[in-house]
Amino acid sequence: MVLAVAMEKHRHLADYIKNHPENIGKVVDFDAETDRLFQLDLTAANKELTTGLINDTDLFNSWVIDKLAANKCRYGVGGYLEHRTIYAFSSHFDTEDEPRRLHLGVDIWGGAGTPVYAPLDGIVHSHQDNNHIGDYGPTIILQHNLDGLILYSLYGHLNRESLLALSVGMPVVRNQQIARFGEIEENGNWPPHLHFQLMFDIEGRRGDYPGVCKFSEMEKWQQNIPDPGLILQFPKAVNID
């Protein structure tokens, strides 16, 4: 029964996006005719991701910047259901049995201060500063009603100023700017980027929701967390140097 309900929600979301393309807005500024995306591989297959690199945020940030510049890309992108090695740098992702390494959102890597937009009409569900090393830092969660389907969208690694003008229940409209990418010092100690994630059930949480899970629990989390690419609608990213 639980699986059937989850599948129906996934179908509802896909149908809504297909039948109402005019209701789907942007998350970041991107022109498919002139801008390119770089596919960032943050798995063990990427041998450039040494322990020294991921443990030094400034070095990690320089690596991201160099990748985008070398490939003439506006943003780096990737991460949905990616089994990552980079979380080893923070105890935030450790558990007693199996560390959390499976990424549940899409990351968009770019410069601090990059504007973030609401892709759908909705309201501010909650927000808070998850101020821990490796965590989201400033985070916003929006709630949307898509012809009866309740969908939540999460925006993590923002700047603190993004939270100042928000209030719970405040309406937002498609393509309204709601935030900006945060600096390393305020975004959980990451190179500047946006963690964008969708959820059907917020499970009573406010201002926070897991963005990384145990690999062994992928199927369970995938039922509640659809592919953010359905909303982003990005073109294929390049992955050459």
Domain locations along the chain: 24-232
| Alpha carbon 176 to chain centroid, angstroms | 18
CB 173 within 8 A of CB 152: no
pLDDT of residue 96: 57
What average pLDDT does the segment 103-126 reach? 97
pLDDT of residue 213: 87
In sequence order, what are the residues at sequence separation of 6 or more whose Cβ sits closer than 8 angstroms to the Cβ of residue 142? Answer: 118, 120, 122, 123, 124, 125, 152, 153, 155, 172, 178
Burial class (CB in 10 A: 0-12, 13-18, 19+), 4: exposed
What CATH homologous superfamily does 24-232 map to?
Glucose Permease (Domain IIA) (2.70.70.10)
What average pLDDT does the segment 215-235 reach? 94
Q: Which of 57, 34, 96 is nearest to 183 (CA)?
A: 57
Task: Please give the Cα distance from 181 to 162 (Å, whole number).
Answer: 9
pLDDT of 89 above 80: no
Q: Is the pTM of this model over 0.75?
A: yes
pLDDT of residue 49: 86
Task: Please give the Cα distance from 13 to 18 (Å, whole number).
Answer: 9
pLDDT of residue 1: 53
Better-predicted residue by pLDDT, 218 or 160: 160
With vertex at residue 61, the alpha carbon angle to CA 75 and CA 91, rounded to the nearest 5 degrees, is 115
pLDDT of 108 above 50: yes
pLDDT of 226 above 90: yes
pLDDT of residue 24: 98
Q: Residue 2: pLDDT band by 50, 70, 90 thresholds?
A: confident
In sequence order, what are the residues at sequence separation of 6 or more whose Cβ sits closer than 8 angstroms to the Cβ of residue 94? Answer: 100
pLDDT of residue 54: 85
Better-predicted residue by pLDDT, 60 or 90: 60
DSSP state, residue 183: P
Q: What is the mean pLDDT of the chain?
A: 92
Task: For residue 21, count other CB atoms closer than 10 A to its CB.
Answer: 9
Q: Residue 241: pLDDT band by 50, 70, 90 thresholds?
A: low
pLDDT of 144 above 70: yes
% of the chain residues with pLDDT over 70: 93
Tens-digit pLDDT profile for residues 14-52: 999 999 999 999 999 999 999 999 999 998 888 898 888
pLDDT of 90 above 50: no
pLDDT of residue 83: 87
